[in-house]
């Protein structure tokens, strides 16, 4: 006589243990996935911030490099012809004003309204000056004058610091009785994400002004 075998299933305790192990493994996988997703999100946000700051820095360097340019600069070596584009003003450390012959049409050496440039920090924004009232002499307007435009995306990036430093070096001029003023502008730019203020980056750059100012020595 054949005896029929008894099939034994899982007990309640075994099912509870298996369920607990499965949930533990699932929780670990979910934690790894969440951590990976958060790291990727932070990385993308950081890249976006760096790209925004790099783009702003490039705009500043490229425009500041034009400071002092005058299409008739050759006449500056012969007094009393004066190059009115050579004045660079650093105001308060976070505002830089300068001029250049934007349209190459200023034979008199006096900046027109469209020849006035500049950058400043204004309540979390980087502002660029595109024009200002014509002026002549040592000071051409203030950081509140002229037409200014915002460079950074205010909804995503807040500029927390803009610092300029002007370094001047005097050299002998080509002609007797003249000197050349060589200038360098150092820039510190710092920004943070609006949605994550703790995530910030700092960039530094320098620009040499190729258009050296020609100064006439006193007799």
Distance set, CA 6 to CA 1, 10, 109, 189, 196 (Å): 16, 13, 108, 79, 64
pLDDT of residue 208: 94
pLDDT, tens digit, 9 for 90 and up, residues 108-122: 888 888 999 999 999
- Burial (CB count within 10 angstroms: exposed 0-12, middle 13-18, buried 19+), residue 21: exposed
pLDDT, tens digit, 9 for 90 and up, residues 8-64: 666 777 777 777 787 787 777 777 767 666 766 667 888 889 999 999 999 999 999
Domain ranges of the chain: 46-216
pLDDT of residue 1: 47
pLDDT, tens digit, 9 for 90 and up, residues 167-176: 999 888 777 7
Whether 80 shows a pLDDT value over 60: the answer reads no
pLDDT of residue 137: 47
**Is pLDDT larger for residue 107 or for residue 147?**
147
Token pair belonging to 82: 């004066």
Measured CA to CA, the distance from residue 127 to residue 56 in angstroms comes to: 10
Asked if 101 contacts 69 with a C-beta cutoff of 8 angstroms, the reply is: yes
Band of the pLDDT at 177, cuts 50, 70, 90? Answer: confident
pLDDT of residue 202: 96
Whether 66 shows a pLDDT value over 70: the answer reads yes
Is pTM beyond 0.75? Reply is yes
**Is pLDDT larger for residue 82 or for residue 120?**
120
């Amino acid at each position: 006589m054949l005896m029929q075998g008894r099939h034994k299933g899982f007990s309640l305790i075994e099912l509870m243990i298996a369920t607990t192990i499965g949930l533990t493994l699932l929780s670990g996988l979910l934690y790894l996935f969440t951590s990976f997703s958060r790291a990727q999100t932070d990385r993308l946000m950081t890249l976006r911030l760096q790209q925004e700051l790099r783009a702003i820095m490039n705009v500043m360097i490229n425009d500041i490099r034009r400071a002092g340019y005058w299409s008739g600069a050759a006449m500056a070596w012969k007094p009393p012809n004066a190059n009115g584009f050579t004045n660079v003003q650093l105001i308060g450390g976070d505002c830089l004003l300068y001029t250049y012959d934007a349209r190459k049409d200023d034979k008199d050496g006096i900046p027109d309204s469209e020849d006035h440039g500049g950058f400043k920090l204004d309540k979390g924004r980087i502002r660029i000056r595109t024009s200002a009232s014509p002026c002549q002499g040592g000071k051409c307007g203030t950081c509140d004058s002229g037409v200014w435009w915002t460079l950074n995306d205010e909804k995503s990036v807040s500029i927390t610091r803009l610092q300029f430093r002007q370094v001047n070096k005097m050299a002998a001029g080509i002609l007797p009785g003249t000197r050349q003023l060589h200038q360098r502008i150092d820039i510190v730019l710092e920004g943070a994400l609006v949605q994550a203020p703790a995530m910030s980056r700092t960039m530094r750059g320098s620009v040499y002004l190729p258009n050296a100012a020609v100064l006439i020595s006193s007799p």
